[in-house]
Amino acid sequence: MMNLPFLKKKKTLDFGFNQLAYSRELVYCLKQRILDTEEAKYLLDAFPADIKQKFRECLFEPDNPKIKDILDFLLKNSETAKIIKRFPGSAEAFEYLYLAYDPNKISPVDRYYLKSKAGIQIHRRLTALRDNIPFWLEKIYKGKKLLIDNIASGPGRDMIEVLKKFPGWRKKVQVRNIDIDPAAIDIGKRLVKEYGLEENFSFECKKYSKAELRKADLVILVGVLCPLPMEISIRVMKSMRLFSKPGGLIICSTAQKELIYDDPLTDFLMKITGWYMDYKTDQDVSRILSATGWKPIGEFYDEPLRHHKMTVAQLN
Ligand SMILES: C[S@@+](CC[C@H](N)C(=O)[O-])C[C@H]1O[C@@H](n2cnc3c(N)ncnc32)[C@H](O)[C@@H]1O
């Protein structure tokens, strides 16, 4: 057979398709589109001219050395960035969003975080928990006080909000908040006192792996799986089985891919300050549940953007 060298694979490659150059072009296109959005304009308005220029250059380029100047600026001009840098993943960053500080009294960068889609959806996640948890409590309430373990609870605002809005549940639940951060636990204790909920809550400031097991009716795991890769998420969800009684429920949240799709700018700011998310898909969540013996029985979201999926599952 005649040899046709120009059809060989190598020849095709010699046309010069360069994967790296292609990726750079895609990043460039994405950057331009995102820099054209209202959100980006709002953020860039919070920067002085030199930082604005550097931010335009460094967007989505975490290895760019100019990132350091942007980080220095953020740390001098944003409480949110300071909190995240000090303790990525701490509940304190959320506190800043939950308390909805007077926008006129905070720095322009913090105002950006408050008004960002990701920031607003964190607030909506809390509201979704407050409004949906009672539905699931109703399903498992059999006349005996329900034991609820809130793992890595932060201050435990979710159940505090439930009992504030639905006082009928005060006689029916006992909640244990477990968190390693003493600052978060102190905020929780203060809130519980302020709302007269002391009888409903206990607090343990420790690693959850050190907590005594009490076979809860409901385990709450919110904001914990969000940064964890799949294998570690699976390990954590397996350990959650120990906290639950047979047939007990878990409500666990995951940060979904929708978040980075909707708000890549805030995700990039978080990455600069050292807080990395591992965004999940519905398939990822199903895989985590089936690998750990939790049977999915429902879900709810931080409507309308659905950045956070709250999965309700039952211990098999
Ligand atoms: C992103 S915050 C979520 C807090 C809360 N669940 C919420 O939704 O607002 C994660 C929390 O996990 C806590 N944490 C991290 N590792 C922990 C561990 N091993 N045991 C207990 N708490 C832990 C942190 O202190 C922090 O309060």
Asked whether residue 134 carries a pLDDT value surpassing 50, the answer given is yes
Q: How far is CA 70 from CA 16, 59, 123, 131, 192, in A?
A: 36, 10, 27, 39, 39
pLDDT tens, position by position, 271-285: 999 999 999 999 999
**119-315 carries CATH number 3.20.20.70:** no
Cα separation, 248 vs 265, in Å, equals 39
* Mean pLDDT across the chain: 93
Q: What is the CA(158)–ligand 1 centre distance, in A?
A: 13
What is the reported pLDDT for 308?
A: 98
Ligand 1 atom nearest 125 alpha carbon: 8
Q: What is the CA(312)–ligand 1 centre distance, in A?
A: 19
Structural domain boundaries in the chain: 20-115, 119-315
* Best residue among 181, 205, 232, 276 to mutate for probing ligand 1, ranked by most atoms within 8 Å of CB: 181
Stretch 78-86: mean pLDDT, rounded?
A: 94
What is the reported pLDDT for 14?
A: 58
Ligand 1 atom nearest 221 alpha carbon: 6
Asked whether residue 97 carries a pLDDT value surpassing 80, the answer given is no
Provide the angle, in degrees to the nearest 10, between the axes of the packed helices 264-272 and 67-77.
90
Cα separation, 8 vs 10, in Å, equals 5
* Best residue among 159, 161, 178, 224 to mutate for probing ligand 1, ranked by most atoms within 8 Å of CB: 224
What is the reported pLDDT for 16?
A: 66
Task: Look up the pTM and report it.
Answer: 0.91
Give percent above pLDDT 90 in the chain: 83
What is the reported pLDDT for 101?
A: 61
* Best residue among 125, 179, 191, 302 to mutate for probing ligand 1, ranked by most atoms within 8 Å of CB: 179
Please list every protein residue whose CB sits less than 6 Å from any atom of ligand 1. 89-91, 94, 152-154, 178-181, 184, 207-208, 222-224
pLDDT tens, position by position, 246-277: 999 999 999 999 999 999 999 999 999 999 99
Asked whether residue 15 carries a pLDDT value surpassing 80, the answer given is no
pLDDT tens, position by position, 167-197: 999 999 999 999 999 999 999 999 999 999 9
Amino acid 74 reads: L
